Amino acid sequence: MRDHASAVRWGIIGCGDVTEVKSGPGFQKAEGSALVAVMRRDRAKAEDYARRHGVPRVFDDAQALIRDAGVDAVYIATPPDSHAALALLSAAAGKPCLVEKPMARTHRECESMIAAFAAAEVPLWVAYYRRALPRFLALRDLVQSGAIGQVTSVHVQVTDRLATGDAASNWRFDPARAGAGLFYDLASHCFDLVDFLFGPITDARGVALNTGGAYGAEDVTSAVFRVGDRMTGTGTWNFNADAKTDVLTIAGSEGTIASPIFSDTDLVVSRGRERRLLPLRNPPHVHQPLIQTIVDELRGRGRCESTGESGARASWVMDRCLQP
């Protein structure tokens, strides 16, 4: 644990697109935090990132960054196929680690990561940043306060048009790198959000199909799941649809709440004839509130809710949904 007066010095492995606005600046702007090093295999790109973001040290080797005595904690922002191996290096070096979502390609890989950090007695977190955003903190308060009575079911609907051509060559459509297709990339956030709002999902099953033939992974997945013995859930992730949709619908005994999952739009609370809009907006750097909870924990001032254990639960659900 860091001294309360000293800043946590971060190193980023994989300074790609997600680190430009969503996460990277958050390590610089969070109180008690500093971004001191970045790594990318293409050193010229790493140097360009460092120059534009004012980062003092650059690496083209992940192990060298992890071993650097000036780096206190590591953020892994690479595709999922390297998450487990890089996280194990961080654990072996005794350094706390924040890993991008999904946590790994499989639940088994997640378990190996959790075991390594437990043995090293250092913390592991997963970048499910919705757990710290104002919209979803308010949503959790609403459901826990009984704003719509007893919550009995939830439904996730995420759709988009079929990716073709160059777009379909992205790593997110390659099961060898991503673990599956877009389902793993996006449903991971959805299942973690359900876990955050209502508790762990205790049973899940699904059906996955490739309907468009544009790439090797599934493009339509439907799931049914249970949260404890209190509520059920369903979800459809259709990436061969005619339009883009994004909604989590929460049904209670006295009303409903409709929430975006990925877009920056309003919460809609309906109860009887009453309809309320809650216009909560995301901060400029959406990872920053979660980063702040991690930095606070490292400085002995609180705890971050997005742990290796909670991240692994989302991966367990997705594995169950894709089982033949």
The confidence band for 3, taking pLDDT boundaries of 50, 70 and 90, is low
pLDDT at 228 over 70: yes
Has residue 5 got a pLDDT over 70?
no
Rounded Cα–Cα distance for residues 25 and 35 (Å): 8
Residues 38, 119, single domain; the answer is yes
Do 113 and 152 belong together in one domain? no
Query: What domain range includes position 46?
Result: 8-128+286-306
Same domain, 167 and 93: no
321 assigned to some structural domain: no
- Computed over every residue of the chain, the mean pLDDT equals 97
Contact 197, 189 (CB under 8 A): no
Is 169 in contact with 316 (CB distance < 8 Å)? no
Q: Does residue 54 carry a pLDDT above 90?
A: yes
Number of domains in the chain: 2
Tell me the per-residue pLDDT of 138-194, one tens digit each, with 9 for 90 and over: 999 999 999 999 999 999 999 999 999 999 999 999 999 999 999 999 999 999 999
Same domain, 13 and 97: yes
Q: Model confidence over 258-278: pLDDT tens digits? A: 999 999 999 999 999 999 999
Cα–Cα distance, 84 to 179 (Å, whole number): 12
Whichever domain contains 272, its CATH number is: 3.30.360.10
Angstrom CA distances, 118 to 91, 164, 226, stand at 9, 42, 29
Write the CATH number for 44. Answer: 3.40.50.720
DSSP string, 126-150: E--GGGGSHHHHHHHHHHHTTBTBS
Model pLDDT, residue 2: 52
Which of 281, 297, 314 delimits the end of a domain? 281
- C-alpha to C-alpha distance for 28 and 8, rounded to whole angstroms: 10
pLDDT above 70 coverage of the chain, percent: 98
Residue 174 lies in a domain: yes
Q: pTM for this one? A: 0.96
Average pLDDT over residues 33-59: 98
